[in-house]
Structure 1
Amino acid sequence: MITIAISSQKGGVGKTTVSINLAHAFARSGKRTLLVDADPQGSVGLSLTRQSRSLNGFYDAIADPQFPLEQLIVPTRLETLSLVPAGQCSDYDLDGGSTGVALHRVRKFFKMAEEQGYEVCIVDTAAGLFGVTADILSTCSAVIIPQQAEPLGIRSVPKMLESLTRMRVVNPQLKVLGVVMTMVQNRLPESLEAVQALRSLLPQNMVMRTVVPREDLFIRASAKGLPVGVMEEGAGVLAVFEKLRQETEGKLEADSVLP
């Protein structure tokens, strides 16, 4: 099973949007896909099912490693796509550093998912590279970094990439697939300049070719509890995430973009 963490230094950059719609794209391609909400805010679950706050989920499995995975999985309208909500986070140390026990339990969770026959697991992580997010990155196959297309935001990206480089000491198999620019506004010069600035700042291939536009449709899709691609007017955005899926698969087959 390929496990892809969607991670960022801060919130509000489009992590959940990328997680939901990239998982939907993988599922549409025929791969059995598990979307895991590992953000204590539960944004994925709230976007796709309004009952998510009352459901058990990822953090219940981490708190109790004997919790059966089958009791955590929520099916979706697409047969190849399933969801594990965040669950109840109150008894878990969300802010502390990585521990051997926590890391072992995260690894066990992903192992159980693989045993269930899932081929791809997309994980929406909490912002920052500490606590549970660090444990996930210490375990997963790859990471994608969403970044909002605004001038101030891009300044934090090199620091995060340095942190991910250090993370690969713990997880040498971690592939840093690159930064995906989100909330890109083609009619706003400052937004396009931010994309170009990041491409100039980082090594070649570090910024993914596919960019995610800023669309009101994302808000409407969230209100309906749907991936944006299944909306009646969502064909254009569906094509964006299909391109992102293809680019992601290409990078998974190649070497990591970090040395």
Structure 2
Amino acid sequence: MARKQDDRTRLPGLDEVPVGVTGRPKRDFDEPPVLPGHGPARIISLCNQKGGVGKTTTTINLGAALAGYGRRVLAIDFDPQGALSAGLGVPTHDVTTIYDLLLSGSVNPSDAIQKTSVHNLDIIPANIDLSAAEVHLVNEVAREQILARVLRKVSGDYDVILIDCQPSLGILTVNALTASHGVLIPLECEFFALRGVALLIETIDKVRDRLNPAIELDGILATMFDSRTLHSREVLERVVDAFGDSVLETVIGRTVKFPDASVAGIPITEFAPEHAAAKAYKQAARELIQRGAVA
């Protein structure tokens, strides 16, 4: 039986301490202070080998929320489907993409950066060409570190770089993890999404051991949560029991506003700024800043 998910619940032995949706004491995350300067960027991969768990939605809206708090954000579309680029309304054809940067050391990363409709949020787009990258990179020397070399050239201009990984654990995802300081795992509150997290954690541990000793797990963000269903509540409880404080207190609910915002090509923080989902992503941004995952 899942624990009761109700803000009015009180923890045993603690008087008048409200409990959040994750079953832990509810905390407030203050609006972050203005940064005195910008860069170098902390690079965060949004990674989960299961598709449809909210990686792209989280990259778009977390990036927009951080940009709204004065952080300079660069989003990297690292999925051949190009959903991140489409979701931010930027062109992906007849432009320089992340594929060009991976395969040619002579292309300047600055030439691939495009502005979005959100102030302080830029993007390096991707298209279907990226699907051929794994084949081309097989015989490259230090192929796992190519993205890291690309991002090194632009990291000084940003406070955070968010990499939207494809739903696999192939060489592109390993490149993203090797380039990153941290990993944020969007996790749909559904049983089959939960099953793959242990494998992803194992992959992160291997990258830490062999390629990138500095990489950290910045957190697990529960997405597509529906408090009306017992299944969602039980999955969230199991995630918190298994991963403890690695699970963010912020939980992203399920809503039809996300696809509506995607069709419009803008983040939900601008499409429906007063909606609960927009407020949740703003809280997620504040929580990550308070955790030290973002400056």
The reply to whether TM is greater than 0.5 is yes
Tell me the alpha carbon deviations over residues 94-153 of structure 1, each in whole angstroms, 9 at most, x when there is no partner. 6976954433431221111214x1111011011122211101101211001111111232
Matches of 2:93 and 2:287 in 1, distance apart? 33
Unaligned runs of 5+ in 2: 1-40
Given that 2:225 and 2:252 are in contact with CA atoms closer than 8 Å, whether structure 1 keeps it comes out as yes
| 2:153 is the alignment partner of 1:112 | yes
TM-score by length of 1: 0.90
Q: Percent identity?
A: 25
Equivalent-residue separation in structure 2 for 1:197 and 1:97 (angstroms): 38
Relative to structure 1, the CA distance from residue 37 to residue 234 in structure 2 (aligned partners, 3 Å threshold; closer, same or farther) is farther
Q: Would you say 1:208 and 2:252 are equivalent positions? A: no
Aligned match of 1:197: 238
Shift of 1:206: 2.0
Residue 80 of structure 1 deviates from its aligned partner by 0.8
Residue of structure 1 equivalent to 2:92: 52
Distance in 2 separating the partners of 1:253 and 1:12: 24
1:245 equivalent in structure 2: 285
Q: Structure 1 residues 14-23 or 93-102, which shifts more?
A: 93-102
Aligned partner of 1:183 among 224, 228, 238: 224
Cα RMSD (Å): 2.1
Alpha-carbon spacing, 1:98–1:142, altered in 2? closer, same or farther (3 Å): farther
CA contact 2:219–2:246 (8 Å) conserved in 1: yes
Q: Which deviates further from its counterpart, 183-192 or 87-96?
A: 87-96
Q: What's the secondary structure of 1:30's corresponding residue?
A: coil
Which one of the candidate residues 129, 133, 136 is aligned to 2:173?
133
Change (3 A) 1:220 1:73: same
Cα distance in 2 between the residues matched to 1:245 and 1:196: 22
Equivalent residue runs for 1:200-239 within 5 Å: 200=241, 202-232=242-272, 234-239=274-279
Shift in Å at residue 219 of structure 1?
A: 0.5
Q: 1:233 and 1:122 mapped to 2: Cα distance?
A: 21
C-alpha distance in 2, partners of 1:249/1:25?
A: 11
Tell me the amino acid that sits aligned with residue 226 of structure 2. Answer: Q
Q: 1:58-97 to 2 correspondence within 5 Å? A: 58-87=98-127, 88-89=129-130, 91-93=132-134
How far is 1:156 from its partner?
1.7
Instruction: Report the equivalent of 2:43.
Output: 3
2:185 is aligned to: 145
Deviation at 1:9, TM superposition (A): 1.6
> What SS does structure 1 have at the residue aligned with 2:163?
strand
SS at match of 2:101: helix
Q: Report deviation, 1:252.
A: 3.1
Cα distance, 1:50 vs structure 2: 5.7
Cα separation, partners in 2 of 1:239 and 1:66, compared to 1, 3 Å? same
Alpha-carbon contact 1:147-1:182 (below 8 Å) kept: yes
Q: Distance in 2 between matches of 1:44 and 1:94?
A: 23
CA distance in 2, matches of 1:122, 1:229: 17
The 8 Å contact of residues 137 and 167 in structure 1, kept in 2 or not, is answered as: yes
Contact preservation (8 Å) 1:125, 1:133? yes
Distance in 1 between residues matched to 2:135 and 2:59, nearest whole Å: 20
Indicate the SS of the match to 1:56.
Answer: coil
2:90–2:116 CA contact under 8 A, matched in 1: no
Task: Find the partner of 1:32 among 65, 72, 80.
Answer: 72
Whose radius of gyration is greater, 1 or 2?
Answer: 2
Give aligned pairs, total.
252
1:54 deviates by 3.9
Change (3 A) 1:151 1:57: same
1:257 counterpart residue number? none
Ranges in structure 1 where 5+ consecutive residues have no aligned partner: 255-259
CA distance in 1, matches of 2:138, 2:187: 24
